């Protein structure tokens, strides 16, 4: 009975873990996808910064000595794209941190839920063990009472047989005395 209870608790626990693992896997996939987005944005920013560095060195003015307004505007446009990419990186990183925070919260909630469930199972097992012990004691008491009844009945049967035999022997002796006297 005890082993069956423990098996049941373990089976239910494994089913809950399987369900939780599916949720954790989905969160992990979402986290990895978000992390890939951030990494792509960082690569894009790195490329654009290289282009910005090149545009700063370019001088298409008179004899290649001076920068033209067009060169300056190109550098400004690239810098503007870098700033926009930085904003996207910040937003995507915030989402990434939110996913990680939610994952941590879910893990904490799952751990607390599992603790409550395990405590409940342990309480149930303890209760069942106590009830089982109580029933065993009752069975032992009933068996002891039944043995006492059997012993009492056996003694009564022996006494009745002894009385019956005594009466029978007395009856025969009187009959034989009455026959000898006649």
Structure tokens at 179: 């026959």
Burial class (CB in 10 A: 0-12, 13-18, 19+), 110: middle
Q: Which pLDDT score is estimated for 64?
A: 60
Domain hosting 141: range is: 2-151
57 falls within a domain = yes
C-alpha dihedral sign at 3, 5, 7, 10: negative
Any residues with CB less than 8 A from the CB of 65 and at least 6 apart, and which?
59
Burial class (CB in 10 A: 0-12, 13-18, 19+), 107: middle
pLDDT, tens digit (0-9, with 9 covering 90-100), for 60-97: 666 566 677 887 888 889 889 889 989 988 998 888 88
Tell me the longest C-alpha to C-alpha distance in the chain. 174
pLDDT, tens digit (0-9, with 9 covering 90-100), for 131-160: 999 999 999 999 999 999 999 999 999 999
30 falls within a domain = yes
The total of structural domains in the chain comes to 1
114 falls within a domain = yes
Q: Residue 25's closest CA among 107, 117, 97, 93?
A: 107
55 falls within a domain = yes
pLDDT, tens digit (0-9, with 9 covering 90-100), for 9-62: 556 665 655 554 555 566 678 888 888 988 998 898 889 888 888 888 877 666
182 falls within a domain = no
């Amino acid at each position: 009975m005890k082993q069956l209870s423990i098996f049941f608790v373990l089976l239910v626990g494994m089913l809950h873990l399987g369900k939780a693992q599916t949720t954790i896997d989905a969160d992990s996939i979402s986290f990895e996808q978000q992390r890939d987005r951030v990494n792509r944005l960082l690569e894009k920013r790195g490329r654009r910064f290289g282009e910005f560095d090149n545009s700063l060195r370019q001088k298409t003015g008179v004899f290649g000595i001076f920068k033209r307004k067009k060169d300056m505007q190109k550098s400004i446009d690239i810098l503007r794209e870098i700033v926009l990419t930085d904003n996207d990186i910040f937003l995507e990183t915030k989402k990434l941190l939110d996913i990680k925070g939610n994952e941590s919260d879910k893990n904490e909630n799952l751990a607390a839920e599992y603790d409550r469930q395990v405590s409940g199972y342990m309480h149930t097992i303890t209760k069942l063990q106590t009830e089982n012990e109580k029933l065993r004691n009752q069975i032992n008491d009933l068996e002891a009472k039944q043995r006492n009844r059997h012993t009492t009945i056996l003694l009564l049967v022996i006494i009745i047989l002894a009385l019956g035999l005594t009466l029978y022997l007395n009856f025969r002796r009187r009959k034989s005395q009455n026959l000898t006297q006649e």
